[in-house]
Amino acid sequence: MFEQLKNRPADSLLALIKAFQGDERSGKIDLGVGVYRDAMGRTPVMRAVKAAEQVLLETQESKKYLGPEGDLQFVRLLEPIIFGNAPKYAHRLAGIQTPGGSGALRLGAELIQTATPSAKVLLGTPSWPNHAPIFASARLDRKEYAFVDLTLQEIKFDSVVSALSSAGEGDVVLLHGCCHNPTGIDFTMEQWREITDLLVAHRLVPFIDLAYQGLGDGLEQDAAPTRMILDAVDEALIAYSCDKNFGLYRERVGALYVVARNADDVRRAESNMAALARVNWSMPPDHGAVVVRTILESPDMTAMWRAELEEMCRRVNGNRTALAAASPDLAFISRQRGLFSNLSMRRETAVALRANHGIYMADSGRMNLAGMQLADADTIVAALRAVGCLKS
């Protein structure tokens, strides 16, 4: 059987984790996979998470199955954070817990495939490298369009408008709700407004990937585009991740929400999401979700979490300012948001940065700004100059 299989390359982003660990040089800098690091270079368990885990250690009495929907109280408590208080579509909202944002994307893709297998998914490139494979695995056709010009570090808004305008009714538009991965370039609110109008006019279904809420400009600001779109459209999907904003990466904590047209459609969506979850992972892992629920049930722990998230957000934006100040060629980095910026570089350049300078970033030129220390800014700029990436 297994000799029929072809070897597949390791995921290049995840391969960076091992490559960095195996590098024995002391000055190495990890700008690779998207995890937050503090000023000591650690990816700490957040204080509120520790507090919640302590409570659970003392009070959790059972780990019996919850069902394919997972912890629905977790799903409900996230709603005001994502959608605000009492959104007008509250009665048209269905939700289910998923293993991370990837699980939500996969489940959403399968829901689309079940409902409208002929729907195309419009994907602006570059995008998170796992987006296209997830939709392909769910046997959905994709239509890719250029989202950004990396040389200019600008959105190609004409290309976005033309892709949406020529899409067919019922096609799905994958949108990064905030903190675009890999470019850090988000639409302006004016552009979001135009996109919303196009979604409505062409009867397209937005699939919003919201994986970094709170790490761009703050929880409320980062949710604003999502809320504006959901206020306007009839149907939508939202893949949410708590892995980054609660620092729960390996616990795999996420949720898939669907905005449907009416109560009947909500019930249909819910039953299909549960059935699809059942054949994929049966039931999602509980620990991370119950930690998030415990935090959100406690005003004190919620305040602790919000404060630490704000601290993380400030640190990332401080790193952006430091890097932008270190070279005029990198000024755009301070205008971008979230963990990532994507320099325009060839794969060989990223390889040379690793081999000759111990600086790890994705082969695509994506760098994780949360991985650096303020004091690293000059080292990074010197290395980028040495490999010919910067003029000044």
Residue 209 bears catalytic tag: yes
Q: Which of 128, 192, 243, 376 is catalytic?
A: 128
Q: Which residue in the block uniquely carries the two structure tokens 């919850």?
A: 66
Q: Would you say 44 or 129 has its CB closer to ligand LMR? A: 129
Q: How far is CA 287 from CA 47, 122, 143, 248, 290, in A?
A: 16, 34, 37, 10, 5
Residue 159's SS3 state is: helix
Q: Which residue in the block uniquely carries the two structure tokens 């289910």?
A: 96
Nearest residue to ligand LMR, using CB? 34
Nearest distance from C-beta of residue 354 to ligand LMR, angstroms: 16
> What residue ranges bind ligand LMR (CB under 6 A)?
13, 33-34, 128, 130, 181
Q: Which of 30, 171, 186, 209 is catalytic?
A: 209
Q: Would you say 133 or 168 has its CB closer to ligand LMR? A: 133
Query: Which residues are within 8 A (CB) of 212 and not within 5 positions of it... i.e. 6 or more apart?
Result: 178, 179, 181, 222, 241, 244, 245, 338, 339
Nearest distance from C-beta of residue 182 to ligand LMR, angstroms: 7
CA distance 261 to 225: 20
Q: Would you say 98 or 272 has its CB closer to ligand LMR? A: 98
Residue 146's SS3 state is: strand
Q: How far is CA 96 from CA 72, 86, 255, 262, in A?
A: 7, 19, 6, 18
Instruction: With beta carbons less than 8 A apart as the criterion, state whether 114 and 276 touch.
Output: yes
Question: What are φ and ψ of residue 296, in 5° steps?
Answer: -75, -20
Q: Would you say 75 or 367 has its CB closer to ligand LMR? A: 367
Nearest distance from C-beta of residue 367 to ligand LMR, angstroms: 11
Nearest distance from C-beta of residue 299 to ligand LMR, angstroms: 30
Q: Would you say 93 or 150 has its CB closer to ligand LMR? A: 150
CA distance 80 to 69: 19
CA distance 382 to 117: 50
Nearest distance from C-beta of residue 33 to ligand LMR, angstroms: 4
CA distance 258 to 353: 42
Nearest distance from C-beta of residue 96 to ligand LMR, angstroms: 20
Q: Would you say 12 or 116 has its CB closer to ligand LMR? A: 12
Residue 128 bears catalytic tag: yes
Helix/strand/coil percent split, the chain, to 5: 50, 15, 35
Q: Which of 120, 244, 286, 376 is catalytic?
A: 244
CA distance 268 to 264: 6
Q: Which residues are catalytic?
A: 128, 209, 244
